[in-house]
């Protein structure tokens, strides 16, 4: 008798129009959550100042591309605030893991100051893979 009701939705859920496998209001079959698009993956292969090859992925790769594109002008967290929520961390990874010279220059502005990161190392982008 117990297996008779095993897959049956509750009366309340049926009245509310719930469908699915009974995994709860926030489960995978829930009408409350739209399907998420697949995350895009970014991978950048490059060579560093001494010709050593390295590969970076994700937001660190985006940061490297932004630094290369900006050139001597550099980038600030405010300029790329739409995606670089942890810019200082991505810079730290590029500095310490891949031994790139990226100084931070302080700039005064109304209300305080902020840092501008400038890529001083010679970096050659070999390949950009985005899917």
pLDDT, one tens digit per residue, over 97-116 is 999 999 999 999 888 898 99
Q: Is 47 helix (H, G, I), strand (E, B) or coil?
A: strand
User: Crossing angle of helices 87-96/58-70, nearest 10°?
Assistant: 90
Where are the domains positioned within the chain?
1-36, 42-130
Tell me the C-alpha to C-alpha distance, in Å, between residue 15 and each of 9, 10, 20, 110: 10, 9, 14, 58
Written as six digits, the tokens of 15 are: 């009245």
CA 65 to chain centre: 13
Neighbours of 56 (CB within 10 A): 21
Compare 105 and 19 and report the one with higher pLDDT: 105
Asked whether residue 64 carries a pLDDT value surpassing 80, the answer given is: yes
Q: What is the pTM of this model?
A: 0.69
Mean pLDDT (whole number) for 23-45: 69
């Amino acid at each position: 008798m117990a297996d008779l009701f095993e897959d049956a939705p509750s009366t309340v859920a049926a009245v509310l129009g719930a469908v699915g496998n009974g995994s709860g209001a926030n489960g995978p079959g829930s009408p409350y959550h739209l399907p998420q698009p697949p995350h895009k993956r970014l991978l950048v292969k490059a060579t560093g100042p001494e010709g050593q090859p390295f590969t970076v992925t994700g937001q660190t790769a985006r940061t490297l591309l932004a630094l290369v594109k900006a050139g001597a002008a550099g980038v600030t967290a405010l300029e790329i605030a739409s995606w670089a929520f942890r810019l200082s961390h991505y810079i730290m990874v590029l500095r310490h893991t891949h031994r790139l010279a990226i100084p931070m220059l302080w700039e005064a502005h109304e209300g305080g100051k902020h840092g501008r990161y400038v890529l001083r190392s010679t970096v050659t982008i070999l390949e950009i893979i985005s899917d």
